[in-house]
A = this chain, B = another copy of it.
Amino acid sequence: MATITRIEVGARMSKAVVHGDTVYLAGIVADDNKADITGQTQQVLAEIDRLLALAGTDKSKILRANIWITDMKNFGAMNAVWDAWVSPGNTPARATVEAGLATPDYKVEIMVVAAK
């Protein structure tokens, strides 16, 4: 049975959970939800980098990504930030759909599964 390690454990959720060599991250939103889609996406991806590092891995080992954006008109701007960030040759399986988020100010949320 693989061990479970939880990272930044809160009363409602953990920011990351490591099960064996699989790392599950929480859905990440921007710290500054007044930023535009470009800024929010940058903040989300920086936080994903930080959490992956805490879990002992990095973006070159992301397996799957689920992206939610509140308005598909922001798809291109989100993708521009994503494309510049993602590890070339190591891109994950990904799906992006439109959904409402926790508050109207949030424009993007990203949840990834990675290997370590």
Binding site for B on A (CB under 8 A): 1-2, 4, 6, 9-17, 19-22, 24-27, 61, 63-66, 68, 72, 75, 79, 82-83, 86, 88-103, 109, 111, 113, 115-116
**In the complex the two chains form, is A93's CB within 8 Å of B13's CB?**
yes
> What copy number does this chain have within its complex?
3
Q: How far is the CA of A14 from the CA of B60 in the complex (A)?
A: 12
**In the complex the two chains form, is B115's CB within 8 Å of A15's CB?**
no
- A101: nearest chain-B partner, CB-CB: B97
Cross-chain contact of A13 among B27, B89, B92 (Cβ < 8 A): B92
**In the complex the two chains form, is A100's CB within 8 Å of B115's CB?**
no
**In the complex the two chains form, is A11's CB within 8 Å of B111's CB?**
no
Q: How far is the CA of A86 from the CA of B17 in the complex (A)?
A: 15
